[in-house]
Amino acid sequence: MAANVAEALNPTLAPSSATLPALQLRDLWLRLGRDVILRGVNLDVTAGEGITLLGENGAGKTTLLRLLASGLRPTRGEGRVMGFDLRDSRAVRDYIHLMPVDAGLYPDLSCAENLEFALKMHGQIGDVAAALRRVTLEAASNRRVRFLSAGMRKRLALARAHLLARPVTLVDEPFANLDTAGRQLVLEMLGELRAGGGTLLIAAHEPELARQVAPRALRLAAGVLHEE
């Protein structure tokens, strides 16, 4: 399975990516309205590395992931994803995938249609049926997402991230709304992404789980990021 993930990462997208840091931030600040969310954040993540991002509720973990995925623009400072300027959202989105805490799925599409659409948007091909079987959703293939439980939506989002296998995968609270078997599945599939050469950044409140696949821990507190 790891070999298949490695193929999906598609090194032809970035022939020199092995020599580039996956993520770099330099003195990065983010202000939203009157609130300063990130304060002079510096970050270096090697390609293929696994990072667990820790912090209290409201610390800004989700905001940092959204910024790295080019969903937000920094107020000040510099950032790069696979060598591309963070402000070049089109280039960044070719290399990065964000699995948000709410799964970020299309509610009026079926499970299969969500995966097919994700592949089409990235110009990729993949085995949608196999991806659904992997997360035990084959029986719900034609069910619209709005009728799935929270745990099923989480597993579908996991299937999408694994199917796309972007060079950088950002994951927000992957263990939420999952039972023991579901959490083990998350560890297996995220582990396969790393084994295939992918870079992981996981925001989680369960460091004992997340660090099994992303051993380096960083903590975000009062807008400042530091090594745990």
What is the layout of strands, in order, in the sheet containing 50-54? 96-99, 168-172, 199-203, 50-54, 216-221, 224-227
Residues 6+ apart with CB under 8 A from 56: 221
> 184-228, pLDDT tens digit by residue?
999 999 999 999 999 999 999 999 999 999 999 999 999 999 998
Q: What is the pTM of this model?
A: 0.89
> 86-125, pLDDT tens digit by residue?
999 999 999 999 999 888 999 999 999 999 999 999 999 9
- The CA distance from 142 to 115, in Å, is 11
Instruction: Tell whether domain 2-7+22-108+168-227 is in CATH 1.20.1300.10.
Output: no
Distance of CA 198 to the CA centre of its chain: 10
